[in-house]
Structure 1
Amino acid sequence: MRVDLFDFDLPQELIALRPAAPRDSARMLLAKAGEPLADKTVLDLPQLLNPGDVLVFNDTRVIPAQLEGTRGNARIGATLHKRVDLRRWQAFIRNAKRLKPNDTITFANGVTALAETRHEDGSFTLYFDGDEPVEVLLERAGRIPLPPYIAGKRSADDQDKADYQTIFAKEDGAVAAPTAALHFTDRLLEALDQRGILRETLTLHVGAGTFLPVKADDTEDHQMHSEWGRIDAATADRLNAIRQAGGRIIAVGTTSLRLLESASSADGQVRPFDGDTDIFITPGYQFNAVDGLMTNFHLPKSTLMMLVSALIGIDRMKEVYDHAVLQEYRFYSYGDSSLLLP
């Protein structure tokens, strides 16, 4: 399928550089099958779902995965994107031409790492020196890795440490936030509880590969990045019971959706899952586990645009995005939301 089918023009001023305040005041575009598009807010969510439906959140926590360092006189930037083991991370490298295998990179506050292996995509496996857990070293030397479309316009600051984490963040390991869940607040969760909307969590450690552009002209030629995720047996059982009772599974964010579909079978059952997934969802995909999606607005020609198009159809996707641009919705990680109910 041609990648340019998923392109659109976005005015730069619609890229959100800060989240709405309060978070749940963000706008939300409702796209429900057989109905006209409707402009709502995130606070309307409880009334847009049915009692017995379940929202599935990603409880990954963003780590300070952006590092600045030196190798000799050369300045080296590293963005960690996938854990290999307790001391090793795969990282995208800025100024990689000045780095070769077995070089040592010196980061801030005495943190050092060995560039062990260069991969075909230009990334490196970094081995972090010392006895302290790598998480401790990153807190000392790293910073929150804002998405490139925000980082290119302003620097990260202390406000981002809170803004770029969801209230569900618990499991360390993500280098990008599951941004659909950034809209949730305690008062919204209370309203969902009163409405009888259930919630479950899973873990998918979002990697920096989520921001990589699709460089191929055809989706068949794109190599999808992989990310580690887990759904435990008890969660899988509860989700299956909810669906059997007539409730809908609504994924909050494309990360939750990708893991749910990775863990599901053709009969719609969600299975326990623990491992890597590189699922690539494009139009024509048959959804097994998910009945709807709450998600922000995505980059043109991205794998996430393709996923949205698979869920609601390319024509409906274009209608949604044309409407969002015309009505000046705020886009991307800190932007507004949509609720897609095919």
Structure 2
Amino acid sequence: MTDTLDFVLPPALEAHEPPEARGRTRDGVRLLVGRRDTGAITHHGFGDLPDLLDPGDLLVVNTSATLPAAVRLDRISVHFSTPLPGDDLLWLVELRRLAGKASRPYSGGGPGEWIPMPGGATLTLVGRQTDRLWQARLSTPVVPYLRRHGTPIRYGYVRRDWPTAAYQTVFAHDRTTGGAEMPSAARPFTPELVTRLVSRGIHLAPITLHTGVASPEAHEPPYAERYEVPEPTAALVEHVRARAGRVIAVGTTAVRALETAVDATGHVQASAGWTEHIVTPEKGVQAVDGLLTGLHEPKSSHLMMLTAIAGRPLLAATYQAALNEGYLWHEFGDVNLLLPR
């Protein structure tokens, strides 16, 4: 597996709260653009996005809603990740020890152990899926339970809780299910900006991929996640590609879904289910030309995907520019547009 980009991320460049709490609008974040054909790196506001794209380009967006997937107890927090196929009550969960405003991995627990949960529910640990993830069964349907008793997953760099609405994108449409973490590349979009994009002749198409919990301590590759690429989206991708337009994924989740849907002939087909597809520089990409994404942590597995799309030299130069110019990282931070030409 290709080594991922490594660098030192100063704590001062971590976004501690949404831009709205910093006196800005949702779309008031910065946009760092890197172009693979020329190697040029330029600096913009996110509101410049319509002018940076060409008529006929296609933005593929993730419509997954964000679940309030963390349930806090006295000493530990349970992070609900994804259900296991065929059983809506059996989920992958991560147990984390509460430590002030942050949390750390919790190594305790054993198969068969049950954990009393708020509201009279019980969580039973079935067995380990990985070193940090358990298969666990909740005594009541999980999503309605989380809507009553959960809070959004928050990592240590975010200093206080924010309501679930702060973790929803303008594209989230199905609140009966969702992902454990926000598809954050789409967070800066507003209805007004979407209108400007459409007015310029830029297409938008939906996919859905419900993300599981990340680990801030271990940069693991993603595991199986639920996705759907609907027929109209697959057809529009093929239409744009046939006319030499650019398919630009909004977020790494959209890349994963689209690349999963590529058939043996290199065409995107409608599909749905669970994907374990991992994009690496060795495998490359077939459906995606560009990527709009947040800034990722050092050695993150997501950086393999960015390397596959942008190439190592451009990615390294882009991240150095982000560090030099004080861009903000993480889900409430600034964004990065990687273009092929």
Q: How does the TM-score come out when normalised to structure 1?
A: 0.88
Counterpart amino acid of 1:83?
Answer: P
Quick one: distance in 2 between partners of 1:266 and 1:134?
37
Classify the secondary structure of the residue corresponding to 1:150. coil
Establish whether residue 108 from structure 1 lines up as the match of residue 121 from structure 2: no
Is 1:121 the counterpart of 2:126 in the alignment?
no
For residues 130-209 of structure 1, what are the structure 2 equivalents within 5 Å? 130=140, 133-146=141-154, 148-151=155-158, 154-158=159-163, 161-171=164-174, 172-209=177-214
Contact 2:57 2:246 survives alignment (8 Å): yes
Alignment of 1:4-19 (within 5 A): 5-19=4-18
Evaluate the alpha carbon distance shift between residue 30 and residue 54 of structure 1 in structure 2; reply closer, same or farther with a 3 A threshold.
same
Q: Report the equivalent of 2:61.
A: 57
Task: Report the equivalent of 2:235.
Answer: 237
Partner of 2:29: 26
Aligned residues: CA RMSD: 1.9
Summarize the Cα distance change of 1:24–1:272 in structure 2 as closer, same or farther, 3 Å threshold: same
Residue ranges of structure 1 left out of the alignment (5+ in a row): 215-221
Kindly report which structure 2 residues correspond to 1:75-90, keeping only aligned pairs within 5 A, or say none.
75-84=75-84, 85-90=87-92
User: How many angstroms apart in 1 are the aligned matches of 2:94 and 2:56?
Assistant: 43
Q: TM-score, normalised by structure 2?
A: 0.89
Task: Specify whether residues 114 and 35 from structure 1 end up closer, same or farther in structure 2 by C-alpha distance, changes over 3 A only.
Answer: closer
Counterparts of 2:207 and 2:217, CA distance in 1: 24
Question: Mean Cα displacement is larger for which, 116-125 or 306-315?
Answer: 116-125
Output one character per residue of 1:241-270: Cα deviation in whole Å (capped at 9) or x when no partner.
222133211100011011111111354311
- Offset, 1:69: 3.1
Does structure 2 retain, via aligned residues, the 8 Å contact 1:63–1:175?
Answer: yes
Query: Using the alignment, how far apart are the partners of 1:274 and 1:308 within structure 2?
Result: 24
The farther-off stretch of 254-263 and 17-26 is 17-26
User: 1:259 and 1:105, CA in 2 relative to 1: closer, same or farther beyond 3 A?
Assistant: same
The 8 Å contact of residues 108 and 140 in structure 1, kept in 2 or not, is answered as no
Whole-angstrom distance in 2 between the partners of 1:334 and 1:207: 18
Sequence identity percentage: 33
Q: Distance in 1 between matches of 2:299 and 2:128?
A: 28
CA distance in 1, matches of 2:171, 2:157: 23
Distance in 1, Cα, partners of 2:2 & 2:254: 26
Equivalent of residue 274 in structure 1, options 261, 269, 272: 272
Unaligned stretches of 5+ residues in structure 2: 98-105
> Is contact 1:90-1:123 (8 Å) kept?
yes
**TM-fit CA distance, 1:144:** 0.6
Kept after mapping to 2: 8 A contact 1:210/1:225: no
1: CA distance between counterparts of 2:195 and 2:92? 39
Contact 2:32/2:42 (<8 A) preserved: yes
Distance, in Å, in 1 between the alignment partners of 2:288 and 2:228 is 17
One-letter identity of the residue aligned with 2:281: P
Distance in 1 between residues matched to 2:132 and 2:168, nearest whole Å: 29
1:2 CA drift (Å): 5.5
Amino acid at match of 1:111: A
**Is residue 71 of structure 2 the alignment partner of residue 67 of structure 1?**
yes
Answer whether contact 1:265 1:271 (CA < 8 A) is retained: yes
Judge conservation of contact 1:69–1:105 (CA < 8 Å) in 2: no
Name the one with the larger helix percent.
1
1:266/1:288 contact within 8 Å kept: no
